[in-house]
Chains A and B, each alone.
Chain A
Amino acid sequence: MSVPADRAGIDDDGFRVSLEGATLPDFVQMECLAQSNRVFRITSGHRIGYLFFNKGQMIHALSGDHVGEPAALEILKWRDGSVEPCSVGWPDAPTIHSTWQNLLILSAQARDESGRHKLVSFPSNRSATSTATGTLRSDTTKLAVKREDPPMSAPPSSQSLSLAQFQAFVRLDPAGNIVSAKGEAEELAPVAAYAARLAELIGNMLGMEGFSSLECGFPKDRVFLHRERSGNLVALKVPAEAEVGALRERFGV
């Protein structure tokens, strides 16, 4: 991959670089860590794409058939070519909202999976898996359909366990105030708030955004946390022997 300096519209300061053996993920990482605000034209054979960097993030991408994240992922698959800064028009709004770390993870995964033998195959559509392999419970499809019925703001008990089966249930608003509660909520609330905050911090450090749920299994019980779209946090404690398939489907854990 070669990275020549652009001769038009770009400052003359800095080095002209030519790197043999560098990859596009290397380049993206370098630009983002440098908090770059530039556009680059990527050429690989007959293919041309554009990557837009702003304040250390990749905010927009264009390729032959795609715009935004699909374009970025397509470009990041290209294995050889050249990179040069250019001055094409910027988008009105970002089309990529994932972090660059997330994009590189997705790209690495796609590259990894395209080239290795899969010992365990699992399609992304879980209900399709149950049909194809029969490895999941027979009620999986039913649960998947059921999940769409109630809104996310509905109490989780309305579609899975009854309230009587919860050892504890608490819903906290974003400020940590208890909105509703049942059972040993006074003990569960601080644990839930603290655990959810740590999960978010852990996710942020690993480039994983959008914490939504947590399941923790203990010898005698299970704890579920779920961040609702409103920002409220729901926490449930249920006995270890309780059927939690519907809860898992709903919370995605």
Chain B
Amino acid sequence: MQNAKESSETPMIPQILAGMRDVDGVHGSFVVTKTGALAGKDLPPMFDDAVLNEVGRRVVRLHEGLCADGDDFDHCVMRFADHKLYLRSVPNGFLCVLSTNGVNTPAMKMALTLTSRRVDPLIVDAAAAAPAAPVTARPSEVPPPPASGAPSRRQATYRGHRV
């Protein structure tokens, strides 16, 4: 992530992501690549890059689990006690947005669509500029894969890109 910030392209990602906060209730957002590496963020400093890289890897695993039968998801939203986390799959990664539970859903969907469209072309450059993120997860924290014998998604493609 540090190297990504130094490139001439990636500073645009936080600027684009800042637009998500036009929607009332949005705390911030971040973008990860299809491998889970952090490509850019617009979040308070308490969310450090190491945490977001680990979150990114789990987002990828969540995507692989939910899409085990082959179809890519359009969107995913998780509700927690006080917050929601929106995921939007784009060809080169995932846009992740943190919000309150009371966020205006139609406005959020439109903002997700516009932001993901603008940020997607920048993800490849950001990922290329960033070094491989260190794996910090302890093995005991990593949940086992689904035991359904579902086909691996590693060779699958989406719009010409490996997912």
Chain B residues engaging chain A, CB cutoff 8 angstroms? 21-25, 27, 44, 46-47, 51, 54-55, 58-59, 61-62, 65-69, 71-85, 98, 100-104, 106-107, 141, 143-148, 150
Contacts and interface: CB of A to CB of B under 8 A. Distances in A.
9 closest A-B pairs by CB: A210-B81, A122-B104, A190-B146, A124-B102, A190-B148, A208-B80, A198-B62, A213-B79, A119-B22
B36 to A, nearest CB: 11
Contacts of A98: 82
Given A190-B146, A198-B61, A216 B75 contact: yes
Given A120-B22, A123-B102, A206 B47 contact: yes
Given A119-B22, A190-B146, A198-B62, A215 B77 contact: yes
A121 B98 contact: no
Contacts of A191: 65-66, 68, 146, 148, 150
A174 interface: no
A202 B62 contact: yes
Interface in A38-79: none
Given A109-B100, A193-B146, A195-B65, A205 B55 contact: yes
Interface residues of A, number: 55
A29 interface: yes
Contacts of B102: 122-124, 126
A189 B81 CA distance: 23
